[in-house]
Amino acid sequence: MNSRQLLFKRISQNWKQQFAVVKRVVDWTVLVYLVIPAIVISFFVYRSWWVQIPDWMTLLPFPAIFILFFLLLWSDHFLTYVREADQIFLRKKETLFLGMKRGGIIYSYAFQLLLAVTICSLIAPLWFIQFGLHMGQLVVLAAMWVSMKWLIMGVKGRLNVELRGWRSLLRGIPLFIGAAIIWMWCYKAFINENFVLILALILINTIVSAWFIRRRFNSVHTFEQDLAIEELEKNKYIEIIFGLSMDMEKMPKPVPVRKSPRLYSKSNRIFKNRTPKNGFIELFIKATTRNTEYIIGYFQIMGVTSAATVMLPPLWLKITMAIIGTVFLLTWLGSVWYKVVGSHSFTKKYASEEAYFEGKKVVKTILVLPFLFIISCSLFLNIWIRNHFFFF
């Protein structure tokens, strides 16, 4: 097996692994009732944009495109597709190992180029019809964005990706500010049609990116950094998918056990009336309020659904997203209830009793009411604003 075959095998394994995780989350019912209809609707909506631009898109200013592209710069690394076991075997075969690493980096360059073409294809109706620009200018935008993406990926490949917390945030501030300044130069050069400066920025970004990545490209002695980046990218997508999962509700990181919890430190009783139903509800309240991940998950579902009802233009699509969000919330609450109460070693033997299901029903009802209130307020507020302010 040569380095090219090994690289293709690793890339194929990587995609199969991600697809396997998605399959565990998106079962056939979700696929049939949500994913496939969403794809079909998205296709026809995108096709309609070429016929007539929606009213809400006509309100977007041209700088919003550059802001959107700037926000899409930050998510990837140059991948070399190394594995932990390679330290034992492949590092002894330097030619094979180095060939695979180089191929992985070249593949990362090409993948980002393909991603730029895809994003530009999505904004093409707005670009051509609304702003009246031509294909050459769209190609220039794609080239500026992908060269900037390569530069940021090169810089991130030299940083310690295992660093977390406030130190990682402080380290990322100079990178963010520098990227914002360069992207502002790109925007001003594009507006002023200074294509000499644009070409210079594209070449400089590409050359500096290659300079930052040269050690990983030419040496086998960056194995630890390469492996850390691979693990970061793999776990990033898995955590996102698991976070959206309802059947595999997982915590992103273990929570240390405290001798005295912050809430209910003396195990105070919440309900004076001690009934089996109230016991289940009390256990659920204490377990979920002591762990911020459950609280954050609840507000994330509420926030995403509320944002969808505000941003999506047709009324029928707003109502559809509100219904989908409600169903998703109810299913997620059922999953959390089972993890906290139903699967607990002390309470799972009571999971067949009537009080268990009564408590579950009460929790779902109480938590879905504020959700429906916020979504309804978002929907009616959006309709009222659109009726009274023409510029929305």
From 37-41, 166-170, 276-280, the region with the lowest mean pLDDT = 166-170
- For residue 112, give the nearest of 163, 156, 170 by alpha carbon: 156
C-alpha to C-alpha distance for 173 and 194, rounded to whole angstroms:
29
Residue with tokens 């050359």: 207
CB of 73 closer than 8 Å to CB of 148 = yes
C-alpha to C-alpha distance for 310 and 305, rounded to whole angstroms:
9
- For residue 101, give the nearest of 17, 240, 203, 6 by alpha carbon: 6
Question: Which pLDDT score is estimated for 249?
Answer: 46
CB of 89 closer than 8 Å to CB of 200 = no
To the nearest 10°, report the CA torsion of 48, 49, 50, 53.
Answer: 120
**Higher per-residue pLDDT: 83 or 382:** 83
**Higher per-residue pLDDT: 24 or 229:** 229
> Is the pLDDT score of 62 beyond 60?
yes
> Is the pLDDT score of 211 beyond 90?
yes
Question: Which pLDDT score is estimated for 313?
Answer: 64
Give one word for 360, left, alpha or beta, with left for phi > 0 and alpha for psi -120 to 50.
alpha
Helix (H) or strand (E) holding 214: helix 195-218
Question: Which pLDDT score is estimated for 325?
Answer: 85
Question: Which pLDDT score is estimated for 240?
Answer: 58
Question: Which pLDDT score is estimated for 349?
Answer: 75
All residues at 6 or more sequence positions from 134 whose CB lies less than 8 Å from its CB, including other chains: 128
CB of 56 closer than 8 Å to CB of 80 = no
To the nearest 10°, report the CA torsion of 125, 129, 132, 133.
Answer: 20
Write out pLDDT tens, residues 240-299.
Answer: 555 555 444 444 444 445 555 555 555 566 677 778 888 888 888 888 887 777 888 888
- For the chain, what is the radius of gyration of the CA atoms? 26
| Orientation angle between helical segments 166-191 and 63-71, nearest 10 degrees | 150
C-alpha to C-alpha distance for 23 and 15, rounded to whole angstroms:
12
Percent with pLDDT over 90 in the chain: 26
SS3 per-residue string spanning 127-184: HHHHCCCCHHHHHHHHHHHHHHHHHHHHHHCCCCCCCCCHHHHHHHHHHHHHHHHHHH
Query: Cα separations (Å) of 183 from 65, 179, 189, 286?
Result: 12, 6, 10, 48
Q: What is the mean pLDDT of residues 131-152?
A: 94
**Highest averaged pLDDT of the listed ranges 69-78, 104-113, 318-327, 353-362:** 104-113
Burial call 60-83: b when 16+ CB within 10 Å, e when fewer: eeeeebbeebbeebeebbbbbbbe
> Is the pLDDT score of 231 beyond 50?
yes
CB of 139 closer than 8 Å to CB of 161 = no
Question: Which pLDDT score is estimated for 354?
Answer: 85
